[in-house]
Amino acid sequence: MRMLAIETSCDETAVAILDCAGDEKRATFEIRGDALLSQAKIHQEYGGVVPMLAKREHQKNLPHILKTALTQAEISEEGVEVIAVTAGPGLEPALWVGINFAKALALAWGKPLVAVNHMEGHILAALARCEGKLLEIQGVRLPVVALLISGGHTELVLMREWLKYELVGQTRDDAVGEAFDKVARMLGLPYPGGPEISKLAERHRSARSRLGTGSEGSGEQSGVAIKLPRPMLDSNTCDFSFAGLKTAVLYLLKELPELTEEKKRHIAHEFENAAADVLWAKTKRALAQTGAKTLVIGGGVSANTHIRRVFTENSAREFPEVLLSIPHASLTGDNAVMIGIAGYYHALNKEFADFETLAANGNLSLAQSSTKPRR
């Protein structure tokens, strides 16, 4: 089945064309076209994504992004069988652009439409093994626990049955990506801040190991003690909180006489450690509660080198029987390939969207809250 997928939920305009085959036991996805335009530079001067600017850019760029994807795939519209589009969650003005574009294409070409939840795209992308342009999802061992970490989300989701989700935990305030972005801004780093924090933190780590500086958390290198809180680490739930961590950085900066490059690296390092500690602690709780056999991390923040390392090391040591699935680097951020993958499974089940009622939903949820996870 040839899918054309459209993603415009945030600040990436993306269209992908995938040749999909198989079913939930084993499916393959050949990427025939994959065109993506990031608006990050445009939003940079505002320090974050401006919804109306995002909408304008999607409107401006979607037609030629479609053309690029079709040209890469060397097909015309007749070759497309199903159109998949992100329906939410995300920025509603931005989502509407993709949805209306998809509706117009589906009407003009006479093709069915599938509405995709963006977060499900992140989960399935993380489950895919990737070899060049060929992706494969095979023999997924249920239950799956997915830690979804992005600019708008921080949640632990349980997939006990294939494509059926329960919410196990979520942030009570800021998303972890939002905290990365805000802390980066406080440190004078450009948007998106996650990769910038990561670069500084990694530099601090390698300087420490060159100097042979011992355990975490001390402040020798930049001459001050820098220790940030790990919010809700010991609470009895799988919920997160990142607002306090962000505020702690703000107070720390107020107390510093001057912010040298070395101190920036040190703060980035301690912030990243704190975020990774909390993410792992809550994931560990979710794994123990649910008896999951597979652990997935997905969303933009899953690109983070330190978080990937912590999850790889800790899950191998503490949950050796659980299979860890981390998305390929090309699929961590927002993209249309993941929307095509999710759309394919729903198209297989003939879950097509209704033209009249399909609408953007900025808060579209993947799962209902589950207070009593079963073993």
**Residues of this chain, 136-175, that bind ligand KG4 according to CB under 6 A:** 150-152
Instruction: Please give the full DSSP string across 64-109, using - where no structure is assigned.
Output: HHHHHHHHHHT--GGG--EEEEEEESS-HHHHHHHHHHHHHHHHHH
Q: Which of residues 307-346 bind ligand KG4 (CB under 6 A)?
A: 333-334
Q: How far apart are CA 18 and CA 133, in angstroms?
A: 10
150 vs 170, beta carbon nearer Zn ion: 150
Binding mask 275-314 for ligand KG4 (x = CB under 6 A): ------------------------xxx-xx----------
Nearer to ligand KG4, 93 or 192 (CB): 192
Report 97-116 residues binding Zn ion (CB under 5 A): none
Report what 327 binds from Zn ion, ligand KG4, none; CB cut-off 5-8 Å by kind: none
Least Å distance, CB 193 to ligand KG4, is 5
Distance between CA atoms of residues 52 and 44, nearest Å = 14
Q: How far apart are the first and last CA of the chain?
A: 37
CA angle 10, 5, 152 (to 5 degrees): 25
Least distance to ligand KG4, CB of residue 125, Å: 10
Q: Which of residues 279-338 bind Zn ion (CB under 5 A)?
A: 334
- Rounded CA-CA distance 299/147 in Å is 9
Q: Is residue 181 close enough to count as binding ligand KG4 by CB under 6 A?
A: yes
Shortest distance, CB of residue 269 to ligand KG4, whole angstroms? 13
Which letter, b or e, does each residue of 323-362 get, where b requires 16 or more Cβ atoms within 10 Å of its Cβ? bbbbbeeebbbbbbbbbbbbbbbbbbeeebbeeeebebbb
Residue 121 binds which one of ligand KG4, Zn ion, none, with CB within 5 to 8 A depending on kind? none
Q: With contacts defined by CB under 5 A, how many residues of the chain interact with Zn ion?
A: 2
Query: Rounded to 5, what percent of the chain is helix, strand, coil?
Result: 45, 20, 35
Site string for Zn ion, 118-157 (x = CB under 5 A): --------------------------------x-------
Residue 92, judged by CB atoms within 10 A of its CB (0-12, 13-18, 19+), counts as middle
Is residue 91 near ligand KG4 by the rule CB under 6 A?
Answer: no
Min CB(358)–ligand KG4 separation in Å: 20
User: Who's near 133: CB < 8 A, 6+ residues apart?
Assistant: 30, 31, 32
Residue 29 phi, psi dihedral angles, 5° rounding: -135, 115
Q: Cβ of residue 6: shortest distance to ligand KG4, in angstroms?
A: 15
Amino acid in position 66:
L
Judged by beta carbon distances under 5 to 8 A according to partner kind, the member of ligand KG4, Zn ion, none in contact with residue 151 is ligand KG4
The footprint of Zn ion (CB under 5 A) covers 150, 334
The footprint of ligand KG4 (CB under 6 A) covers 10, 150-152, 177, 180-181, 192-195, 198, 299-301, 303-304, 333-334
